C-alpha cells in the first residue's frame, strides 16, 4: 500500500493564481482531512470529509474548496491565491471504526505564494 500520497511536493504561485492540491489514499478509509501548518506552528484543519460525497468546513476554510467524489481522492482547491496561504499542506485519512482511529498523513505539499 502506498498509504496517503500528495502531489505536488512543492509549488510556487503568484498572487491571484489558482491550483489544486491532490490527495489520494489506498487504505479504504472513509475519513479524510486537509490541514495547513505554518512555520513553527501546529496543524489547522481546513476541511474534512466523512465519506464520498460529504464534506464539511474545519477551523480555517476561507479561500479553499474541496470535493470528495470517490473514497480514494480528496483534492483541495485554492482560488485566488494570497500570501497568507503560504504554508505546508498535509492531507490525512483515518478509518471510521476499529483501532485507535489514528490519522495517517501524507508527505505534504509546500506552497509559496508570491
Within 83-112, the residues that bind other proteins by CB under 8 A are: 90, 92, 100-108
Cβ closest to other proteins, residue 32 vs residue 113? 32
Cβ closest to other proteins, residue 79 vs residue 102? 102
| 105 burial level (CB within 10 Å; 0-12, 13-18, 19+) | middle
Does residue 48 bind other proteins (CB under 8 A)?
yes
Q: How many residues bind other proteins (CB under 8 A)?
A: 24
Closest Cα to residue 39, out of 90, 87, 109, 92?
A: 87
Stretch that binds other proteins, among 9-17, 20-28, 43-51, 67-75 (CB under 8 A): 43-51
| Residue 99 CB partners (closer than 8 Å, separation 6+) | none
Closest Cα to residue 5, out of 19, 26, 33?
A: 26
CB of 61 to other proteins, least distance (A): 12
CB of 12 to other proteins, least distance (A): 18
Residues forming contacts to other proteins in the complex (CB under 8 A) are 33, 35, 40-45, 48, 50, 56, 58-59, 90, 92, 100-108
Amino acid at each position: 500500500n502506498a498509504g496517503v500520497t500528495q502531489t505536488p511536493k512543492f509549488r510556487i504561485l503568484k498572487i491571484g493564481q489558482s491550483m489544486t492540491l491532490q490527495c489520494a489514499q489506498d487504505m479504504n478509509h472513509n475519513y479524510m482531512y486537509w490541514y495547513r501548518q505554518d512555520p513553527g506552528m501546529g496543524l489547522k484543519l481546513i476541511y474534512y470529509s466523512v465519506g464520498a460525497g460529504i464534506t464539511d468546513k474545519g477551523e480555517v476554510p476561507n479561500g479553499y474548496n474541496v470535493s470528495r467524489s470517490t473514497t480514494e481522492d480528496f483534492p483541495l482547491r485554492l482560488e485566488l491565491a494570497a500570501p497568507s496561504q503560504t504554508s505546508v499542506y498535509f492531507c490525512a485519512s483515518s478509518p471510521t471504526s476499529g483501532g485507535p482511529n489514528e490519522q495517517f498523513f501524507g508527505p505534504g505539499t509546500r506552497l509559496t505564494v508570491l
